[in-house]
A and B are shown apart, each in its own frame.
Chain A
């Protein structure tokens, strides 16, 4: 048939019918289309009536042709009807409106500080550091004296302290765990020490009276300042991105010597200077240095046999930097609207 010209427009009718059925979005519209093509007053009936104008010898063939067409269109109609009916049954699954919101249980999330801590721990565990912890309520001895802060010395003024009594205080740093740990373990050792620390200062946007700190300590026979720079650089790049740069500035801490403060290149401006880094291109991230021989002696180590490094970083500050948090006090505010902002899957990713 396709070889012959479509003398009576049969194929054209079939095509139009198929299109009309396909466009019918529901059974009602489909029914209208069916009536239009194969209803009692439809196009097929009209076409069949034209049989009278044909010579007699062509009439049987024409009759067959039209019947075939009716069958073809009926088939198209049934198929489309089936499809639409299934759809109607499926509608029951979504109560007639699939755009209604789905059922959701409550979502939870880690606190942003603990998320930062977890990410940092993973990096250091991967580098071979182990975990150690110590008490928040600490002896003056471990917090100050063993760390080479003499009594009544101005170096203590740099850390305003909460006291319980003359000998007991709230630790101002995680460093006391250095001596506690060394008293019980022999080198080589490589630990990180996260924990809460306390400072007796009136809170403001950049100072809190309690915050989270993490200490690192590595002691072995030949640990050097160069090793310290390696580890700190590795950490900064793993946490902030592989193009971060690190620089060390000389500084003073009673329990390390040589001492340094480590800066990293500003992740926001990449070192060109912006408000985040105070236009310097650098952001201070930690204090560090080589363990002071007095500290080794206090822990019962021979300072001629061992060398080591220590570093300490404030996790609140790291979280503030990483997520652009404007006020340290928000971290303990626990406003759920604040906490939820850091539950995103991307929160732990490295900035590239």
Chain B
């Protein structure tokens, strides 16, 4: 919200410069997010010295002045001010100057005498409302120097962040009240017209719950004209346009006191009536912005005897607005159910300064004062004659009473970490216009209507802490550590898995939780696959972000696409993150599973001189997944399977009965759908299927101190036999096997059709003695025998 420094000074003396005030307000809890410095609202005004004053030959009240304004010869200027005198230093608007309010100065004849400029009052320069006489400057300098930026104070506008609990700060007077508390200064109340209830008018409120208060003030003999320059300047400085004196006066009160007002042209009201009621179904209104809006019974309207004339708290209607020919006014100052205003604003998509404040609950005690203030301004401008009696409806008079909230001194100190006495706390609260009295342990505080946010003890503790100053609340530099940190083992495992993958050359990525629902089709998930039916967001930003991801893979494919475009040649990435599966969980929330997704794309190795470069392949993927499983101690417990639906390129790794991971080649069609080059390999590991983490620390086992004996074994088998079967038999048969590696694999060729061979290097070792070759031979013999018997294998000799 914008707040003008000049405007603030109407209610509280401020000597501090803008930067100091901004800092102090911020530390007081009124966050100043920016300071804007506005240029003074005039140009072409220079310092002049009055050399001579003579009577105007044609008009008693006018003087003919000779003024040195720095030019080659003095200027002749006609002046109407009573206080002009020879020797005065004055502000002269010379030909071409533009004054506050947009007035352009030209050479002109005034009652037959040429005037070559204008001697300015404060009002004409937009510095104040004072137009009783010209300004006398005590300003050193040569006649002719420009006064831009030198007169009065240049205007500063603060951009304030007002939190939703403090609607009382949505106006200049409210901010002035904080400044008065901050600096312990006296507040000056703006003048009000003497307004009382009892006006005779047909005002009907259908529901006191919908509209707890309504005040209608009346103004006759209205003369609609532009408002004075000072008012226009202040309104412009906070971003409001000048419209006419009546509307400007209501807007001024809005920005001054925070109460939205609306002026109706009384002569346009059918049967001189105002009704506050729910809209009828299908009823329409053209609002001030010229848009026709359809209403319904969920919305509250102001109506006359025939039709709605305003959407309550949101915007007035065009038919009844103040126009040039308007003669009589009804000024509305009311309070509406904030939920109705909020609802109407949302449904009409029409946020206004008024709706913003009504939603945050206006001060229930200010209706009459705000109307009286507008009447006073209208009267001062000569824009109309207010009636001393207004019409008023108050649903619940108790809402105007002050409430009392109490605070326990000991509790306040406990929360703040202070040792303040009850009187100290009462004095702090008093500064905020919260009259307080301390009775030993208890402080009783009388809460004014403008502080609707203070409902209970803790609210007072905050106010006391704020005035006392957060920065004054002691800071003991030694941090306490009274509770022992417990980090879940799952989290530690997660972190070490990430470290492990990073050490294997993976780049960790973080992708969006959202998914394009069309990705399910692109991935080729069929209807039975729960990943195909992602949870939808009811109000998404874009269609591509309208579902929650059921898999990490689509997002990772997006990362490959991006990095392929960035010409990254080796792509080995993983993400550890949540996926959201709409399966049943308590209270209708989805199942959130933690996965590791990894992709292998483009080259598996850097471009190097010593070996040919390699594309990422299936065994890159499988090797890394196995390394991960090995780290988890599960490599020997996990079973690799082809899923039943038989998509050829994808495998599953089962632990117990559950799928722990899947992985393989991203089908070519899928790659194409995501606009990435094939082949890409992936694995997707479900962390929630792992056994509970923190199974205990590894236990040391003594290593064998005897040497190992190595044997290479080349086994030829039929083409249908798999490595895993061969390996299993070797593992079963061997007694002293220390390690087993396959280091050659060959199919067809000189072996003949339908054959393949695996060459193993077996290492045997005993923990009890040195194995002799007889023992090893016996071991190999047994292995080969079993392979022949069970797989029809042959031993091939080099």
Contact = CB atoms under 8 A, between A and B. Distances in A.
A120 interface: no
Contact of B461 (A226, A257, A339): A257
For chain A, the bracket of interface size reads 35 or more
Given A127-B481, A154-B359, A200-B539, A104 B415 contact: no
A138 B589 contact: yes
A302 B219 CA distance: 56
A334 B416 contact: no
Interface string A296-333: 00000000100100000000000000000000000111
A108 B488 contact: no
A107 B537 CA distance: 38
Contact of B474 (A106, A129, A157, A226): A226
Interface in A126-160: 126-131, 135-139, 152-155, 157-158
Given A129-B485, A231-B479, A249-B31, A257 B592 contact: no
23 contacts: A104-B606, A107-B505, A111-B507, A114-B498, A125-B487, A129-B485, A130-B483, A130-B485, A131-B486, A136-B592, A163-B539, A164-B535, A196-B513, A209-B514, A222-B414, A226-B475, A230-B476, A251-B31, A260-B470, A290-B415, A332-B511, A334-B559, A336-B507
A335 B563 contact: yes
A22 B557 CA distance: 61
Contact of B482 (A162, A188, A250): A188
A250 B28 contact: yes
Given A126-B485, A128-B483, A136-B580, 10 more contacts: A105-B605, A106-B605, A106-B606, A136-B513, A137-B580, A158-B163, A164-B536, A261-B31, A290-B458, A332-B512
B165 interface: yes
Contact of B505 (A106, A113, A127): A106
Nearest to A114: B508
B790 to A, nearest CB: 39
A155 B470 contact: no
A201 to B, nearest CB: 8
Interface SS majority for chain A: mixed
Interface stretch (A29-37, A42-50, A74-82, A165-173): A165-173
B535 A137 contact: yes
Nearest to B466: A250
B416 A258 contact: yes
Contacts of A333: 562
Contacts of A139: 587, 589
A158 B512 CA distance: 22
Interface in B522-574: 535-541, 545, 548, 559, 562-563, 566, 568, 570-573
Interface string A219-247: 01010111101110110000000000001
Contact of B514 (A210, A227, A254, A336): A210
B485 A128 contact: yes
Interface in B569-590: 570-573, 578, 580, 587-590
Nearest to B610: A103
A221 to B, nearest CB: 9
B592 A202 contact: no
Contact of B509 (A111, A164, A260): A111
B610 A153 contact: no
Interface string B330-365: 000000001100110000000000000001100000
B538 A200 contact: no
B351 to A, nearest CB: 10
Contacts of B491: 131
B485 A125 contact: yes
Nearest to A149: B164
A251 B505 contact: no
A328 B215 CA distance: 49
A198 interface: yes
Interface in B82-112: none
A164 B537 contact: yes
Interface in A159-201: 162-165, 167-168, 170, 188-190, 196, 198, 200
A334 B559 CA distance: 6
Q: Which of B414, B457, B479, B588 is the most central at the interface, judged by chain A CB atoms within 10 Å of its CB? A: B479
A127 B479 contact: yes
Contacts of B457: 293
A252 interface: yes
A261 B447 CA distance: 26
A124 to B, nearest CB: 8
B541 A170 contact: no
Contacts of A259: 462
Interface string B406-425: 00000100111110000000
Contacts of B559: 334
Given A111-B509, A226-B417, A336-B568, A250 B29 contact: yes
A4 B641 CA distance: 92
A210 B540 CA distance: 12
Given A100-B609, A106-B572, A230 B475 contact: yes
Q: Which 3 A-B pairs have the closest CB atoms?
A: A226-B417, A250-B29, A224-B417
Contacts of A101: 608-609
Nearest to B495: A118
A19 interface: no
Contacts of A59: none
Contact of A190 (B29, B483, B488): B483
Contact of A339 (B339, B360, B499, B509): B509
A7 interface: no
A131 B479 contact: no
B153 interface: no
B137 interface: no
A209 B163 CA distance: 22
Given A209-B545, A229-B475, A128 B417 contact: no
A105 B566 CA distance: 21
B511 A334 contact: yes
B452 to A, nearest CB: 12
A281 to B, nearest CB: 10
Given A109-B507, A127-B479, A290-B415, A137 B539 contact: no
